Amino acid sequence: MKFEETSLKDAWIIDLEPFVDARGYFARTFCANEFAAHGIDPKFVQCNLSHNHQAGTLRGMHIQNAPVEESKLIRCARGALYDVIIDLRPTSPTYLMHLGVELTADNKRMLYVPKGFAHGFQALQDDTEVMYMIDEFYTPEYQRGFRYNDPSFAIDWPLPVEVISEKDAAWPLFETL
């Protein structure tokens, strides 16, 4: 795996290094030793799969608060998505900054999202599947979120929002959290 630092402190883009032969390819998507060498030590306890029927589907912006903050390792298994993270750690030098990364089944990129970051994504193709490993169990009473179109962040989503849950559409603005 190749680890690339992003503009947000502690967030990483991870590219696979596939071994290719006549059968296809093989690549590691996680290795505790390689992650530890980059200062990352998640203890993943859950793996989720999100299927999105239609391009333009948006999920987010979500965060799980202390004491059950989550770090995530996100990968596109089919199709393509635009993944956005926002650093909400008040003591971070990149506090309130966001980053958008295109993850596709073809580019095989992954995004490591540290604890204290909000997360959301938009499907760029029909039938997009997103897999993510999480280092905390989902605890609904600690889930928070804010609107994907919050002017505090002015995220430039690549497509018009075609599908969004009622819950995600109804999150408050960030300043009211």
For the annotated catalytic residues, the residue numbers are: 62, 132
Question: Scanning the structure block, which residue is given the tokens 């962040």?
Answer: 153
Dihedrals φ, ψ of 83, to 5°?
A: -105, 130
- H or E element: which one contains 35? helix 32-37
Verify cis geometry, omega within 30 degrees of 0, for the bond prior to 61. Answer: yes
Question: Scanning the structure block, which residue is given the tokens 């060498």?
Answer: 37
Separation CA 111–CA 54 (nearest Å) = 22
Q: Which residues pair with 86 in a beta bridge?
A: 98, 118
**Rg for the chain, CA atoms, rounded:** 16
User: For the chain, how many residues are written?
Assistant: 177
